[in-house]
Amino acid sequence: MALYALFESSSGYALFLAHGIDEIGQNTEAVRSSVVDLNRFGKVVKLAAFYPFESALDALNQCNAVSEGLMTEELRNFLELNLPKIKEGKQVKFKLGVAEPKIGSHISEVTKIPCLSNEFVLEILRGVRLHFDRFIKDLKPGDLEKAQLGLGHSYSRAKVKFNVNRVDNMIIQAIFLLDTLDKDINSFSMRVREWYSWHFPELVKIVNDNYLYAKVAKYVEDKSELSEDKIPGLAEILGDEDKAKEIVEAAKASMGQDLSPIDLINVQQFAQRVMDLSEYRKKLYEYLVTKMNDIAPNLASLIGEVVAARLISHAGSLTNLAKCPASTLQILGAEKALFRALKTRGNTPKYGLIFHSSFIGRASARNKGRMARYLANKCSIASRIDCFSEMNTTVFGEKLREQVEERLDFYDKGVAPRKNVDVMKAAIESVQNKDDEDTAPNTENADGEVSLKKSKKKKSKDEAAVNGEPMVVDEAMAVTNGDASPGTEKKKKKEKRKLAQEQDHVQAPESLGAVNGFNSDQEGTTKKKKKKKSKDVDTEDQDIQSASEVKKKKKKKSKGDDEE
């Protein structure tokens, strides 16, 4: 059986024919040793066909298709032209060797060409790659290297651009930097407190906030020079005039030691650095909020920007988080405790990073686990909507947040929550309404036409009510708008049945129900209706029997008359 080998190079597709190889020789070490020697390898493997790429863009598209395991039209035409034709009902006398099993399966599905991918094929392709410039005669010595370098740069650049468009890396770096800044600011502010407390120890109890403490320490400088003239400045910093007066009074009777001017300068510089770090932290938090609203708006509105960013950074990307099931998302961040519990056969953790959400803190101790499981389910839905939807909206996240609030009320007060199907329908309707509002024309003529249509609809409804005509309500619209509950749907169905029965009663007063004495306006349960149906059937049978008896009597009378 002949063996063809498909080689995808940076300059084009090449098809090689390996002849004179038996099945026994395929598993020997002689094949690997003969690959290096071109004289021996060239006798076995020969070039059958070559298809050059038209441009660098074409080469990039072909490379992307091969990496994803897809066969392009160019590759299909190349194979069908240069391989022996396959006839139905006859045995195939060749096989196609490929390096990637994915593209081999796709080729065999589409073209019915039998593909092979094993160690022997890989060794042949290794030899082809080693001596490829010798097989193609028209290639110059440096052409192949240039094509490989250009294709490698464009392929990697396309992958990096795709990653940049997702912008997951920006969120991951921002949340890491935010957490480290929190640690650094806390440790630096404690160092400022300890350093300046040697000079003014009473200030620690008056000012609790780290940022305000550093600001006050920079403003006060030497406590001996603090007077009542600086009360307005302190009041502006602290936002409280009473605290400013208290600081001035405490400075007069302070027990701290005096510091030299050089020491005070160092304390002031360090306090300024702490202030700059805290201000930069605020700006970084605002940047993170804007990025989360652009990339994962539903997840951010459901669980908060910081917790959502931590989940994304721990999963690696938004796509990885969307692929995680809800059970994995629930314990994301508690892997160490999970494996320790599995090893010791103890209780597994109930929550990981999701514990920092306010919903878990608001739940009671016995409901924390259930709340974590429900919240993880909603976070999984929100992350998948953010990852795979093209619309940038927060409607789904807000609706999911309402569901979590309802679940909290259900655990605490026993109030029944809405169903997920109804909530999602309402969210979809609200998104569609927003799109309609955005696409609606803003001109005066269009507004006038819309108002005229609305007024006509109102008039027609009013006329129908005046004339006593029954108005039919569209239940589907009510359900999709979220205005109808299951109870109201049943009521509306009953009202419809009443109206239909009234119309039938007016049009045909001699109906079966009227003849048999049944009142069609009465409402009853399903059992009563079944009994009515059975009675109606019995009466119809009786009427048929009576009619047949009357006919028989008439026939007898006519016979008697004939005899007479």
Name which of 38-42, 291-295, 512-516 the model is least confident about.
512-516
The whole-number pLDDT of residue 396 equals: 92
- Give mean pLDDT, residues 48-64: 89
175 and 154 share a domain? no
Q: For residue 530, what pLDDT is reported?
A: 47
Give the pLDDT of residue 559: 54
* Range in 195-209, 220-234, 311-325, 542-556 with the lowest mean pLDDT: 542-556
Whole-angstrom CA distances from 78 to 72, 74, 120, 327, 490 are 10, 6, 23, 48, 65
Distance CA 201, CA 396 (A): 52
**Window from 82-86, 175-179, 358-362 with minimum mean pLDDT:** 82-86
Question: Within this chain, do residues 85 and 190 fall inside the same structural domain, yes or no?
Answer: no
Q: Which residue has the higher pLDDT, 34 or 289?
A: 289
Give CA–CA dist 288/306, Å, rounded. 8
CATH code of the domain containing 94: 3.30.420.220
Greatest mean pLDDT among 164-173, 322-331, 477-486 lies in 322-331
452 within some domain: no
For the stretch 391-448, pLDDT in tens is 888 899 999 999 999 999 998 888 888 888 988 888 888 888 877 776 665 544 444 4
Shared-domain flag, residues 322 and 365: yes
Domain termination site, one of 160, 187, 222: 160
Retrieve residue 64's tokens. Answer: 């992307």
Residue 458: band (very low, low, confident or very high) from pLDDT cuts 50, 70, 90:
very low
Residues 206 and 94 in one domain: no
Q: Does residue 277 sit in the same domain as residue 418?
A: no
pLDDT value of position 287: 93
* Mean pLDDT to the nearest integer, 228-244: 86
pLDDT score of 120: 83
Q: Which domain holds residue 128?
A: 2-160
Could you tell me if 268 and 323 lie in one domain? no
In this model, does residue 349 exceed pLDDT 80?
yes
Alpha helices, H only, 331-443: 335-344, 358-362, 368-388, 395-413, 420-439
pLDDT at 558 (0 to 100)? 58
Across all residues in the chain, what is the average pLDDT?
A: 78
Q: How far is CA 466 from CA 106, 109, 195, 459, 471, in A?
A: 69, 68, 86, 10, 11
CATH number, domain at 355?
A: 1.10.246.90
Same domain for 36 and 77? yes
Kindly state whether residue 126 falls inside one of the protein's structural domains. yes
The pLDDT, as a whole number, for residue 514 is 38
Residue 20's Cβ-count burial label (10 Å; 0-12, 13-18, 19+) is exposed
The total number of structural domains that make up the chain: 3
**Do 242 and 348 have their domain in common?**
no
Q: What number is the average pLDDT over the span 383-398?
A: 88
In a domain, 336, yes or no: yes
Residue 434 main-chain phi, psi, to 5 deg = -65, -40
Give residue 309's pLDDT: 94
With a CB cutoff of 8 Å and minimum separation 6, the contacts of 9 are 129, 132, 144, 147
Report the CATH number at residue 224.
Answer: 1.10.287.4070
Last residue of a domain, one of 284, 310, 336: 284
pLDDT at 182: 93
Min mean pLDDT across 161-175, 354-368, 456-470 is at: 456-470
Residue 14 main-chain phi, psi, to 5 deg: -130, 140
Contact 144/50 with Cβ under 8 angstroms?
no
pLDDT digits (tens, 9 = 90+) for 489-508: 555 566 666 666 555 444 44
Gyration radius of the chain's alpha carbons? 41
Residues 125 and 235 in one domain: no
Residues 103 and 69 sit within 8 Å (Cβ to Cβ): yes
Percent of residues in the chain assigned helix, strand, coil, to nearest 5: 70, 5, 25
Identify the residue with better confidence: 92 or 215.
Answer: 215
Residue 475 within any structural domain of the chain: no
* Same-domain status, 328 and 204: no
Domain shared by 145 and 29, yes or no: yes
The answer to whether residue 536 is domain-embedded is no
Quick one: 253 and 301 in the same domain?
no
What lies within 8 Å, CB to CB, of 321 at 6+ separation is 311, 312, 315, 329, 383, 387
The confidence score (pLDDT) of residue 446 equals 41
Among 130, 160, 190, which residue terminates a domain?
160
At 456 the pLDDT is 45
Task: Please state, for a pLDDT cut of 70, what percent of the chain lies above it.
Answer: 74
